[in-house]
Amino acid sequence: MLTDLRVAVLIAAKDLRQRLRDRSAILVSIVAPLGLAIIFSGLLGNTTAFHARYVVANLDGGQLATVLRKDVIGALVTVKVADVTDAATRDEAIALVTDGKADAAFVIPAGFTAAINAGQGATIEIAGARNATLETEVARAVAQRFGDGVVSVQLAVATAAHLKGAPLDGPATGAIVTAAAAATPAVNLTDDVARLRQLSMATYFSASMAILFLFFSAQIGIVSLFDERRAGTLARILAGPIRPWSVLFGKLLAGFAMGVVSITVLVTATTLAIGADWGPPLGVALIGVTAIIAAIGISTLVASFAKTGESAGAAGSAVAITLGVLGGSFTVSSQSPDSMATIALFTPHGWFLRGLGELHGAGATAADALPAAGVLLAMGLATLALGLVRTRKLVTAR
């Protein structure tokens, strides 16, 4: 066992020496992802922090509408995620959005408070700018959450009145609803904003480029197995006093080491160069290591269908880019349609970014990365097992 491990380490060390001597490997593993992360975060750096411009047309002016305007929408100003201005009419509010002076408009219709006090339905209109998807979604979520709270209170009031056998009068009901609405959103709004917290652009693009290019680094070991077979060095190694599995293990170890070098350099360099905030080191290490295992597993499985080093490399690259596109390496996930977010969950890229995102919640610790790390590990081990079963033919006697 020790001998097998020694052989694997020897092969991995030799591979690493070759790869580091080969400048293309350094280019793919370090220079390209680092360069792209810097370029993307530089180009999109202005959108790093979420900040919206809202306009409110309060056409009602009643108690409940005032609560929505001041306590709920106004809270966005308090937590510094939005600027809010007021418009006298619906048309004025819409015009501000159309002219690009506001990202979205809240239109509170006349009769809003009275309708709710009477236990009836009311509508808050949200009008968003075409290029402000995220800001509009936030506005819609705020309004929705407010509405949910109002409905809950209406239901509670109706239930209490039914039990007492005497319905409350309109003003009394309105007072309860207003008080509840004023109290509830203060808590819920904070929760909403926390849920929408995302990685900064610098961190996001550093991470997405890291996972994208990790696949190129991780496949170096397994692809070199084909190259060694063609060059005859694999046969020479296998003619020695070693077990075939130790060769495979050595190749995987080389890919793992290359992945660790790549991720470590990227995390350090992007932190220092562009201020990326990856999160708690232990959590980042957990996500990083499991992502490397996933990348090696998938690369091994893909390579197992190839016949030459060239085809293994090409297939691995195609899969890496496809998974990168589906997993959100090229688009900010919070601005993607729900369907894309769902598809991303089938890719290690998606879980890698999600895991890092979990490390950025309020009071987040390394433990918050465990679910994503678990998924990445499972993906890696499953594909690795399949890949090794298929790849063993390369190192066993004919």
Partner 1 sequence: MTGEPQAPVVLSVRGLRKRYGDLEAVKDVSFDIREGETYGLLGPNGAGKSTTISIVCGLLRRDAGEVTVDGKPIDTGAVAAKAGIGVVPQDLAIYPDLSARENLTFFGRLYGLGGARLKSRIDTCLELVGLADRANERTDHFSGGMQRRLNIAIGMLHEPRLLLLDEPTVGVDPQSRNAILESIAALGREGMAVLYTTHYMEEAERLCDRVGIIDAGEIRAEGTRRELVALVGQRDEVRLTATGDLGAATKAVGALPGVGGAVVRDGVLELVVDDARGMLPRLLDAVDKAGATVRGVDVVQPDLEAVFLHLTGRALRDAS
Interface residues with partner 1 (CB under 8 A) are 7, 10, 14, 17-18, 21-22, 231-233, 235-243, 396-398
CB of 17 to partner 1, least distance (A): 7
Tokens of residue 140, six digits: 């819609």
CB of 241 to partner 1, least distance (A): 4
Tokens of residue 233, six digits: 């060095």
50 vs 245, beta carbon nearer partner 1:
245
123 vs 233, beta carbon nearer partner 1:
233
CB of 317 to partner 1, least distance (A): 22
Which residues, including other chains, have CB under 8 Å from residue 231's CB and lie 6 or more apart?
A: none
HSE of 26, CA atoms in CB hemisphere, 13 A: 6
CB of 278 to partner 1, least distance (A): 34
Q: How far apart are CA 279 and CA 287, in angstroms?
A: 11
CB of 251 to partner 1, least distance (A): 14
CB of 11 to partner 1, least distance (A): 8
90 vs 229, beta carbon nearer partner 1:
229
18 vs 271, beta carbon nearer partner 1:
18
Q: Collapsing DSSP states into helix, strand and coil, what is residue 121? A: coil
Distances (CA, A) of 311 to 306, 316, 364: 6, 8, 43
CB of 335 to partner 1, least distance (A): 44
113 vs 246, beta carbon nearer partner 1:
246
Tokens of residue 285, six digits: 């290490």
CB distance 71 to 185 below 8 Å: yes
CB of 397 to partner 1, least distance (A): 4
Distances (CA, A) of 176 to 63, 152, 169, 181: 11, 12, 11, 8
136 vs 391, beta carbon nearer partner 1:
391
Residue 82, φ and ψ in degrees, nearest 5: -155, 155
Strand partners, 135: none
Give the single-character DSSP code of 120.
-
Which residues, including other chains, have CB under 8 Å from residue 344's CB and lie 6 or more apart?
A: 326, 327, 328, 333, 336, 350, 353, 354
CB of 236 to partner 1, least distance (A): 4
Q: How far apart are CA 98 and CA 92, in angstroms?
A: 10
Closest CA to 263 of 244, 246, 286: 286
| b/e 282-310 (16+ beta carbons within 10 angstroms → b) | ebbbbbbbbbbbbbbbbbbbbbbebeebe
CB of 343 to partner 1, least distance (A): 40
221 vs 324, beta carbon nearer partner 1:
221
241 vs 363, beta carbon nearer partner 1:
241
14 vs 140, beta carbon nearer partner 1:
14
103 vs 228, beta carbon nearer partner 1:
228
- Terminal alpha carbon distance of the chain: 24
